[in-house]
Amino acid sequence: MPTLFYFLTWACVTFIQVVVTPRLAIRGVFPDILIAVIIVIALRYGRLTGVWFAFALAFSIDLLDPQKLGWMTLLASFLAYGVGVVRETIYLENPWFESTMVFLGTFLYHVIYRFFPAPQFFMGNFSKMVAESFLIAVYTSAVIGLIIMIFRQRYGYRDLA
CA distances (Å), 11 to each of 15, 33, 53, 58, 148, in order? Answer: 6, 13, 12, 12, 19
H or E segment to which residue 74 belongs: helix 71-90
- What is the tens place of the pLDDT at every residue in 37-78? 999 899 888 889 889 989 988 888 888 877 777 888 889 999
The confidence score (pLDDT) of residue 153 equals 77
Residues 148/40, Cβ–Cβ less than 8 Å: yes
Does the pTM of the predicted model rise above 0.95? Answer: no
Q: What is the CATH number of the domain that holds 86?
A: 1.10.1760
| pLDDT(147) > 60 | yes
77-96 pLDDT, tens digit per residue, is: 999 999 999 888 887 777 78
Domain span including residue 101: 3-160
pLDDT at 136 over 70: yes
Largest CA distance in the chain: 58
How far, in Å, CA of 114 to CA of 146, rounded?
27
Does position 119 have pLDDT exceeding 60, yes or no? Answer: yes
If one counts the domains in the chain, the total is: 1
